[in-house]
Chains A and B, each alone.
Chain A
Amino acid sequence: MTDWKTRLIGSIWPDRPLPSRTRIIAQNRLVLAGIVAGLCFLGISAKAVHLATSLDDKNNVRGNYKQVQQRGPILDRRGRLMAQTVPIMVLHADPKNIMDPHNVAAKLAPLLGKKSKQDILTALSRDSRYVELARKITPQRHADILALGLPGIYISHSETRLYPQGSEAAHLLGTMDIDGKGIAGIEKQFDERLRAGKPVALSVDLGVQAVVRRELQHQIEKFEAIGGAGVVLDVRTGEIISLTSLPDYNANQYSSADSDAQFNRATKGVFEMGSIFKVLNSAIALETGVASLGSSYDVSKPLRVSRFRIRDYHPYNRALNLSEILVYSSNIGSARIAEDIGATAQKAFMDRLGLLKRPALELPEISKPLIPRQWERIASMTISYGHGLSVSPVQAAGAIAAASGHGFYIEPTLLRRSPTSTFEKSRIFSDDTVRKVRSMMRLAVSHKDGTVNFANAPGYMVGGKTGTAEKVTNKGYNRKANLVSVVASFPIHDPAYLIFIMVDEPKPQKHSYGYATAGWVAAPAIARIVTQIAPMMGIHPIDTNSPEIRLNLEPNIVIGTEGAIRASY
């Protein structure tokens, strides 16, 4: 049969001799090739139409092709701006295309207030095809410069990152490099999320942050200290409400800050925390049952342990009970308690309190703790009062929040947690233990012989503990250079927040009668911080005689020798 294809071809090209078989094959296959070619061109057209008509949903297309999006903002816990990217205009020049640099410089100089004619001329004489003359041009300047109509001078769109709070939380926010890549702080930690245009909501409260920074700065100046750190923690959720390191810098000018200012003492620095660790020591003793509130320890003589001598700042010529050891801050007593607890149990508790590993905090600038190589009897005795184990302020705050709060350890976080969000919390101390520890901490503030009297903020029921540690230098401990700190919880009968304040190398002052101890340097800051932030965070003052306090604190604590006085808060 003469098949239809032959007839079809014959009808298109008539008057032809009947093609040979070879030709028919070739022609058939050519038809196939033609169809394939047609489909290819149709495919290209379809893709071109798709691309060109996706104008309405530009963002979507850009997303598909990983187009650069405006970097997301960083917000505080109440949605206030901490970092935002804003579009700006950049004035730049191509020196090769500038015919008369003198003339151009003379015309531009009056419009660029900060730059002199000479500066501009120098820039224009550079052997480069791109010199930046000014950033952040105002619309008016933009129009003025365009009106000059200078060849070789260009204005293009760019972006800049603004940190409207300046130095506030500068360490936390970090910075970006010239290509817009986060290289420090939250900017680095959440670079990907921010690049995708999504906001990052932090747990930090800008109001609290400002208060802590101001009060810490005040104490540092008052005591001629070299720096300090502050942490405020929500003890129920582990959220960091404030994270401060001083000295700091303007977050908008990261690169011009020196390395000491850039250093985040609150997370990157690890320190021997001193006596604030006694809070943990007492809690572990009560939790393991090796001691009760009434257990007494002889502190009359310095303790000799191999080549070390453990001494007290204020020697007591008698036996002290557990509460007195904490309230008076006795090293000898703490070491004796630690002996009873034992190194293994102590280490296990420290581990569960997150003190022996690198914290999982959402910042690149975090350090691993320095742990003694051999954690035996001697180490455990010094660790009981905060020597021999170096941790960062955030870690210390997280651990002590468990002992002075509600008994749960929660890894501190910088991300905001909603009331309904779930997170990991592990119970370390029983309600009974924390109730006793809180009572003792309250007495350290309220009892006349306590070390933290200056931290008292009437009505807010502050409980706390001081810590003074000699700084380690290459030659061993330096008696003149101290690191003083106070950790405090409030309201102590039902703790909501924990505050940690550390001041680095305070000097004795006339106004402090020659003292530069934690009680004089750091405690007053706690009182002022509490009175300012409590109203912000919705905590109301309470009558110290209210039954609520009696119910939530231990009534039978004996402090001092003048008979057995029942604790008064």
Chain B
Amino acid sequence: MLDRTDRSLIGIWWWTVDRWLLASALLLMVIGLLLVMAASPPVATRIGLPEQHFVWRQLIYLLPSIGIMLAISLLTARTIRILALVGLLGIVGLMIATLAIGPEVKGATRWISLGPLRLQPSEFAKPFFAVVCAWLLGLWREGENFPGWMWASGIAAVIVTILVLQPDIGMTSVLVLTWGFLMFLAGMPLLLVLMATALAPLALVTAYFFLPHVHNRINKFLDGGNMQTERSIQSFIDGGLFGVGPGDGTVKLHLPDAHADFIFSVAAEEYGLLACLFLISVYGFFVLRGFSRSVSGEGMFALLAVSGLTMQFGVQAAIHMASSVDLIPTKGMTLPFISYGGSSLLASGITVGIILALTRTQNASTVSSDGRRSDISQTRLYPSHSREAL
């Protein structure tokens, strides 16, 4: 293994990265591969593709995803900020292009084709937006009279407009939530917080009355007559504690996109409740660990960016799992690192990569207390962390 005296980039990385977060992310990826192997063959045969089609695609995306995650986790805060800003600008451009020329898939235009790959740009907007937003708000709180919150809100408004046009209500809510969460952490007056909390149900009611598919979903949830939900619930009942066994489940035969939007139900049926609880606790652990590690970075930027990204990761997982157990209306949202989906995997890789980069230990407390390695000060990694500025 790496020696503690190893001063190479990798060496420093290994001793400073949060290994708990890294381990949870890798664990989720492995579980995800297992589940897609179980859930996707029937879906593939149903639409006339080779049985292992989705498994291979998942692998093809998984490796770059791990690569991106690790590569990003090596970067410094400054590089990440530049990367996020450039990325966000590029993606907003792509999203506008998608609106104009993208193929319509299942009633929405959110995909764009790059050769054989079809990507969903809005997936990448999520982490980049969180970083840029955190950066602007951090500047606002720690810098001189920079109106960061205005900039952040403006960017949020632009992206939300595009997302509503696609339409992609799930992604819209995740972005609005990210923005609100960061504003909240950045010290938004409590009165405004309360008002915003009151406004959220209002937004839901508006969506219910003005967006037909939202109307349908919510009606079905309230009536309980939703076939998807019934199947999903049945998978929990049939799975019991230990599941019916890998590959023996039937829910995947009946649910559309079982390998993406209902992978948690597949897990419940084939691997059982205990496996599900384990999965929930891995996500729960990741979120709480992410939150608590976010304060270990010195600047407001790191705190905001890490907690914002962690929240995105957690919210997405929570929405997916809550739909599966019929706590909320069905919302096609992928389970990060687990569900099949190239864009989702790559975006999750980016998200966790940034979290890992920004939570790397800033002093040598993990190295030793005798001061032997105290020269690995974070000044090398983050030259100007106390007053962040590009």
Interface residues of A (CB under 8 A from B): 9, 13, 15, 20, 22-23, 25-27, 29-30, 33-34, 37-38, 40-41, 43-45, 47-49, 51-55, 58, 61, 64-67
Contacts and interface: CB of A to CB of B under 8 A. Distances in A.
A56 to B, nearest CB: 10
Nearest to B287: A37
Nearest to B230: A65
Interface in B277-322: 277, 280-281, 283-284, 287-288, 291-292, 294-296, 300, 303-304, 307, 311, 314, 318, 321-322
Contact of A52 (B142, B230, B268): B268
Nearest to A9: B295
A41 B230 contact: no
A15 B365 CA distance: 9
Nearest to A54: B237
B22 interface: no
Interface stretch (B121-129, B155-163, B181-189, B210-218): B181-189
Nearest to B292: A34
B347 to A, nearest CB: 20
Contact of A26 (B225, B229, B303): B303
A51 B233 contact: yes
Contacts of B241: 52-53
B273 A40 contact: no
Of listed B229, B241, B291, residue having the most chain A CB within 10 A: B291
A40 B237 CA distance: 21
In the A-B complex, list the 3 residue pairs whose CB atoms are closest, starting with the nearest: A51-B236, A52-B273, A41-B284
B224 interface: yes
Given A26-B303, A29-B185, A33-B181, 6 more contacts: A34-B287, A38-B284, A41-B318, A48-B276, A52-B236, A67-B230
Contacts of B291: 30, 33-34, 37
Contacts of B246: none
24 contacts: A22-B142, A23-B295, A23-B300, A23-B303, A34-B288, A34-B291, A37-B288, A37-B291, A40-B314, A41-B287, A41-B318, A44-B322, A44-B325, A47-B322, A47-B327, A48-B268, A48-B277, A48-B321, A52-B241, A52-B276, A61-B233, A64-B224, A66-B225, A66-B230
B277 A49 contact: yes
A29 B230 CA distance: 38
Interface of B: 141-142, 181, 184-187, 224-225, 229-230, 233-234, 236-237, 239-241, 268, 272-273, 276-277, 280-281, 283-284, 287-288, 291-292, 294-296, 300, 303-304, 307, 311, 314, 318, 321-322, 325-327, 363, 365
A22 B141 contact: yes
Contacts of B187: 22, 25-26
Contact of B325 (A30, A51, A58, A66): A51
B233 A65 contact: yes
B196 to A, nearest CB: 13
A25 B186 CA distance: 8
Nearest to A14: B365
Contacts of B237: 51-52, 54-55, 58, 61
A45 B295 contact: no
Given A13-B295, A47-B327, A26 B185 contact: yes
Contacts of A27: 295, 303
Contacts of B296: 13
Nearest to B363: A15
Nearest to A61: B237
Nearest to A44: B321
B283 A30 contact: no
B215 to A, nearest CB: 21
Contacts of B224: 64-66
B307 A30 contact: yes
Interface centre among B281, B327, B365 (most CB of A within 10 A): B327
A44 B236 contact: no
Contacts of B287: 34, 37, 41
A58 B239 CA distance: 12
Contacts of B230: 65-67
A44 B300 CA distance: 31
B370 to A, nearest CB: 14
A55 B240 contact: yes
Contact of B311 (A23, A33, A41): A33
B318 A40 contact: yes
A47 B326 CA distance: 8
A86 B249 CA distance: 25
B37 to A, nearest CB: 20
A47 to B, nearest CB: 4
Contacts of A43: 322, 327
Nearest to B185: A26
A45 B181 contact: no
Given A44-B327, A48-B273, A65-B224, A30 B185 contact: yes
Nearest to B317: A41
A13 B296 CA distance: 7
A188 B314 CA distance: 49
Contacts of A15: 363, 365
A43 to B, nearest CB: 7
Contacts of B239: 52
B155 to A, nearest CB: 20
Contacts of A23: 295, 300, 303
B149 to A, nearest CB: 13
A41 B236 contact: no
Contacts of A34: 287-288, 291-292
A65 B232 CA distance: 11
A47 B284 contact: no
A41 B292 contact: no
Nearest to A51: B236
Contacts of B185: 26, 29-30, 33
Nearest to A12: B292
B284 A26 contact: no
Contact of B272 (A30, A45, A52): A52
B280 A67 contact: no
Contacts of A47: 322, 325-327
A157 to B, nearest CB: 12
A26 B138 CA distance: 11
Nearest to B142: A22
Contacts of A26: 185-187, 295, 300, 303-304
Given A65-B230, A66-B224, A44 B318 contact: yes
A184 to B, nearest CB: 25
Nearest to A129: B46
A47 B268 CA distance: 12
Nearest to B299: A23
B318 A48 contact: no
Contacts of A20: 142
Nearest to A45: B280
Contacts of A64: 224
A83 to B, nearest CB: 26
Contacts of B311: 33, 37
A67 B231 CA distance: 10
Contacts of A41: 280-281, 283-284, 287, 318
A59 to B, nearest CB: 11
Identify which of A48, A55, A67 gathers the most chain B CB atoms within 10 Å of its CB. Answer: A48
A40 B241 CA distance: 21
A61 B230 CA distance: 11
Contacts of B276: 48, 52
Contacts of B280: 41, 44-45, 48
A61 B296 CA distance: 46
B252 to A, nearest CB: 16
Given A33-B291, A37-B287, A67-B230, A48 B325 contact: yes
Contacts of A45: 277, 280-281
A38 B281 CA distance: 10
Contacts of A40: 314, 318, 322
A26 B141 CA distance: 11
A399 to B, nearest CB: 44
A9 B295 CA distance: 10
B294 A52 contact: no
